[in-house]
Amino acid sequence: LIPWPKVDFAKFGPIERRELPRIKKISGANLMRNAVMIPAVTNHDDADITELEAFRLQLNKEHEKSGVKVTMLAFLVKACVAALQRFPEFNASLDMDSGGEALILKRYWNIGFAADTPNGLVVPVIKNADQKGVLHISRELAELAAKAREGKLSPADMSGATFTISSLGGIGGRYFTPIINAPEVAILGVCKSRWEPQWDGQQFVPRLMLPLSLTWDHRVIDGAAAARFNAYLGQILADFRRVLL
Ligand code: CAO
């Protein structure tokens, strides 16, 4: 690689030097390694969450007094577990002890989620998400997100993930290309849902569409498998009864 450009910025205008927070210093090195070393590809897709959103709003009304607030992220955790169980190579890591010649498939489903904090990005983990309901997951998401903002996450809170979700849904945007959180082999990026006209065979009807961006490690996963994963995830989000099949 050629050297990084060296520029005397002060020559062009006033500047201020600001030290990076500790979290950014640590995560920067990890992000750099993961971005450079993983042959990553991203597939974008949309899921129809019209009925799921109506159910979510109804649930929140029912549980108004309990203080539990269900966001789309809790359903996404459950939907991802279903897709990871259907496509186990997404819930795996390369066995680096053998130089990456084997895959270690994990029979547990721990879902990390990116949480934005004033000091930088952290990834707390919902452990054994397959064994928890949406209300339980919602409570844990809120607790872990609060701990993250207060800088109180323990190393145990942030370890053991088998797959990560990065949701920018509360903020905005259409699609983005998340960086895989090694040694995981895939990550799901989620943006803000919006109403769009969808053709139902006879007419355009308004449907609430959720943009999904799945980044995957091409050493482990192929494009066809990624497209199947997204299609299945979309089916689950459109109709959660499909997890029973
Ligand atoms: N589409 C539309 N609205 C959405 C949505 C989506 N996909 N996802 C969440 N929302 C809404 C929520 O319903 C909530 O609405 P109300 O305030 O009206 O109830 C609002 O957006 C805020 O949600 P939230 O962000 O508080 O909750 P969450 O469960 O969606 O996310 C957390 C929690 C911790 C993941 C989030 O706060 C956060 O930090 N996100 C940023 C992650 C990030 O930085 N990723 C990038 C990593 S790469 O640098």
Tens-place pLDDT, residues 114-129: 999 988 999 999 999 9
Average confidence (pLDDT) over 140-155: 96
* Residue 88 confidence (pLDDT) above 90: yes
In the prediction, which pLDDT does 159 show?
97
Give the burial string for 214-240 (b: 16+ CB within 10 Å, else e).
Answer: bbbbeebbeeebbeebbebbbbbbbeb
* Mean pLDDT score, 127-137: 97
**CA distances for 13 relative to 4, 10, 23, 187, angstroms:** 21, 5, 29, 40
The reported pLDDT for the residue numbered 47 is 98
Helix (H, G, I), strand (E, B) or coil at 25: helix
**Stretch 172-200: mean pLDDT:** 97
Within-domain flag for 6:
no
Q: What is the mean pLDDT of residues 3-7?
A: 97
Domains: count for the chain: 1
**Has residue 197 got a pLDDT over 90?**
yes
Q: How confident is the model at residue 1 (pLDDT cuts 50, 70, 90)?
A: confident
> How many angstroms from the chain centroid is the CA of residue 158?
14
What is the structure's pLDDT at 132? 98
Query: Domain for residue 9, yes or no?
Result: no
Residue 46's domain spans which residues?
18-191+201-240
Q: Is residue 166 lining ligand 1, measured as CB closer than 6 Å?
A: yes
The DSSP output letter for 174 is: S
Amino acid 138: pLDDT:
97
Q: Pick from 174, 178, 173: which is nearest to 163 by CA? A: 178
Q: Looking at 44, 63, 136, 218, which residue is catalytic?
A: 218
CA of 8 from ligand 1 middle (Å) equals 39
Task: Please report the pLDDT score of residue 245 as a whole number.
Answer: 86
Instruction: Give, for ligand 1, the residue of 73, 122, 165, 208 to mutate: max count of ligand atoms closer than 8 Å to Cβ.
Output: 73
CATH code at position 136: 3.30.559.10
3 within domain boundaries: no
Say which residues have a Cβ less than 8 Å from residue 142's Cβ, sequence separation at least 6: 68, 69
Ligand 1, atom 36: nearest CA belongs to which residue?
115
| pLDDT range class, residue 92, cuts 50, 70, 90 | very high
Is the residue at 99 inside a domain? yes
To which residue do tokens 């040694």 refer? Answer: 183
What was the pLDDT predicted at 151?
Answer: 93
The answer to whether residue 218 is catalytic is yes
